[in-house]
């Protein structure tokens, strides 16, 4: 059996179907040992992942129930989690992964595998969040938190509270998102938190502070994210020793060939995102001249200097520094795909653009009582339709006291009049007179 597995591992990259057939035959062979079946099962999962075949991976799960049941609980639990994670690297496999995860949860509940059940429910909550099934996710998170608090599993509590914070943030409930994140940080303070998890906490803390427009505090959290991940060491693949057999090394390489690269890539993406948010904070604090300096402070930021998203944010900062709304709009249009793909960046840059546009319009129309809209558009170098829409919005929001005369194509600005206190004074006199009459009536009543 070992020779068949070695042969299948060797031809896996060239003849995948033949390799799958060999792995399947070994896994179903009655005479195969437990270790050989385990190796065949893992190899089948890897082949399904490499072929982007979610259906095959789901079938592997279904056919391995009996084998998993006879393994020690700790080993089978680890094996199930490794297999379920393989779905994450297959495109458009969320729904299949969701169904498989539900089936395995039922199996784990029937077999009373508590540890595995909680790990799978945490995975299912993430899947519900990814598929935007927020009500199911919140219900599952509430049950998980209740169970985890009973056993006082701090590490799992941190992760589940973080999922809860992300769900509430997606639902625009910032108060509950902050409460969940506070609970996560409170649990994390009493245990050793791995750098990737700590970076997730810092990153999300910064995001929530951004939502509250506290950009200085948010910047410090994003900085902690980049620095924490830069110090995290990813173990490299061990060199092949002379004593290690070639087949064992081949299988280990086959099993873990991409895992470390994926982990390193995920951490780099998180670092880059934190750097993008740091640049966003500098832009929102109206200090765009400080943005380029972030890339020269340390190796962590410098290595992302040519990243598309980082370059886009630097272009936005440059346009803001020049105080040119037309350049600002051109940059936003040029990098629209990147900016629109990130909710936080899109929301805050849109808010900044509206604020800058409003301030520029007020400065232009300040000397006039009546001014042509075309003149305003030419001064600000924007289309008339954009200027008209913004002026209408400012009038409705009572930021501008005037009306739009579309017939003559001009804006009529009303003079600010001081507040008339005559009505308030009249009410005060009436009230005082009422008090006098009441006092006289009381005295007359006492004399009689």
pLDDT digit string (tens) for 257-285? 566 777 778 888 888 999 999 999 999 99
pLDDT band, residue 417 (cuts 50/70/90): low
| Helix, coil or strand: residue 367 | coil
What's the whole-number mean pLDDT along residues 349-375? Answer: 87
Q: What is the DSSP string of 340-360?
A: HH-HHHHHHHHHHHHHHHHHH
What's the whole-number mean pLDDT along residues 315-332? Answer: 84
| Helix, coil or strand: residue 412 | strand
Q: How many CB atoms lie within 10 A of CB 4?
A: 16
Cα distance between residue 204 and residue 154, in whole Å: 19
Cα distance between residue 283 and residue 210, in whole Å: 12
| Helix, coil or strand: residue 421 | coil
Q: What is the pLDDT of residue 1?
A: 67
Residue 205 near residue 277 (C-beta atoms within 8 A): no
- Cα angle at 199 between 198 and 202, to 5 degrees? 90
Contacts of 255 (CB under 8 A, 6+ apart): 42, 43, 46
For residue 362 the two structure tokens come to 């007020």
CA distances to 121, 142, 158, 333 from 147, rounded to whole Å, are 11, 9, 14, 48
Residue 295 near residue 305 (C-beta atoms within 8 A): yes
Sheet holding 370-372, edge to edge: 370-372, 410-413, 402-405
- Please tell me the pTM assigned to this model: 0.79
Contacts of 5 (CB under 8 A, 6+ apart): 22, 23, 26, 36, 39, 40, 43, 247, 251
pLDDT at 249 over 70: no
**What is the percent of the chain where pLDDT is above 70?**
91
Of the candidates 333, 202, 181, 329, which has an alpha carbon nearest to the alpha carbon of residue 273?
A: 202
pLDDT at 375 over 70: yes
What's the whole-number mean pLDDT along residues 99-108? Answer: 90
pLDDT band, residue 237 (cuts 50/70/90): very low
Contacts of 177 (CB under 8 A, 6+ apart): 165, 166, 168, 169, 208
pLDDT at 240 over 50: no
pLDDT digits (tens, 9 = 90+) for 71-85: 888 888 888 888 888
Please, is 319 exposed, middle or buried when counting C-beta atoms within 10 Å of its C-beta (0-12, 13-18, 19+)? buried
- Burial letters 86-122, b for 16+ CB under 10 A, else e: bbeebeebeeebbebbeebbebbeeeebeebbbbbbb
What's the whole-number mean pLDDT along residues 60-78? Answer: 85
Cα distance between residue 23 and residue 44, in whole Å: 6
Cα distance between residue 427 and residue 429, in whole Å: 5
pLDDT digits (tens, 9 = 90+) for 143-191: 999 999 888 889 999 999 999 999 999 999 999 999 999 999 999 998 8
| Helix, coil or strand: residue 405 | strand
Longest Cα separation, the chain = 123
What's the whole-number mean pLDDT along residues 361-387? Answer: 86
Q: What is the pLDDT of residue 241?
A: 40
**What is the percent of the chain where pLDDT is above 90?**
28
Most confident region among 11-25, 40-54, 308-322, 407-421 by mean pLDDT? 308-322
Cα distance between residue 251 and residue 109, in whole Å: 33
pLDDT at 380 over 70: yes
* DSSP-assigned beta bridge partners for residue 411: 371, 404
Residue 109 near residue 117 (C-beta atoms within 8 A): yes
């Amino acid at each position: 059996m070992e020779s068949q597995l070695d042969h299948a591992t060797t031809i896996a990259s060239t003849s995948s179907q033949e390799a799958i057939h060999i792995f399947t035959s070994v896994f179903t062979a009655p005479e195969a040992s437990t270790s050989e079946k385990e190796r065949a099962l893992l190899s089948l999962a890897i082949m399904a992942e490499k072929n982007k075949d979610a259906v095959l991976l789901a079938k592997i799960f279904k056919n391995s129930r009996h084998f998993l049941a006879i393994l020690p609980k700790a080993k089978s639990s680890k094996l199930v989690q490794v297999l379920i994670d393989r779905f994450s690297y297959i495109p458009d496999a969320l729904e299949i992964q969701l169904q498989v995860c539900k089936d395995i949860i039922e199996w784990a509940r029937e077999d009373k595998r508590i540890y595995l059940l909680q790990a799978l429910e945490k995975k299912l909550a993430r899947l519900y969040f990814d598929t935007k099934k927020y009500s199911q996710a919140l219900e599952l998170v509430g049950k998980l938190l209740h169970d985890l608090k009973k056993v006082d599993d701090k590490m799992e509590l941190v992760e589940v509270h973080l999922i809860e914070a992300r769900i509430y943030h997606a639902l625009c409930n910032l108060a509950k998102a902050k409460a969940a994140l506070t609970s996560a940080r409170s649990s994390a303070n009493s245990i050793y938190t791995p750098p990737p998890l700590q970076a997730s906490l810092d990153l999300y803390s910064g995001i929530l502070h951004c939502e509250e427009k506290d950009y200085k505090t948010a910047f410090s959290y994003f900085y902690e994210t980049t620095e924490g991940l830069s110090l995290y060491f990813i173990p490299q693949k061990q060199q092949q020793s002379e004593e290690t057999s070639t087949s064992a090394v081949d299988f280990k390489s086959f099993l873990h060939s991409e895992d470390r690269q994926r982990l390193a890539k995920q951490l780099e993406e998180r670092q880059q995102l934190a750097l993008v948010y740091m640049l966003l904070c500098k832009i929102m604090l109206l200090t765009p001249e400080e943005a380029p300096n972030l890339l020269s402070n340390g190796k962590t930021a410098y290595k992302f200097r040519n990243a598309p998203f980082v370059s886009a944010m630097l272009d936005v900062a440059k346009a803001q520094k020049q105080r040119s709304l037309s350049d600002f709009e051109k940059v936003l249009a040029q990098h629209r795909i990147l900016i629109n793909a990130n909710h936080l960046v899109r929301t805050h840059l849109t808010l900044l653009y509206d604020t800058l546009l409003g301030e520029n319009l007020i400065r232009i129309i300040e000397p006039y009582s009546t001014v042509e809209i075309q003149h305003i558009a030419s001064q600000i170098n924007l289309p008339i339709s954009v200027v008209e829409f913004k002026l209408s919005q400012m009038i409705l929001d009572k930021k501008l006291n005037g009306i739009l005369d579309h017939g003559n194509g001009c804006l009529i600005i009303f003079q600010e009049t001081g507040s008339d206190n005559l009505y308030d004074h009249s009410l005060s006199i009436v009230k005082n007179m009422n008090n006098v009459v009441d006092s006289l009536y009381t005295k007359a009543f006492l004399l009689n």
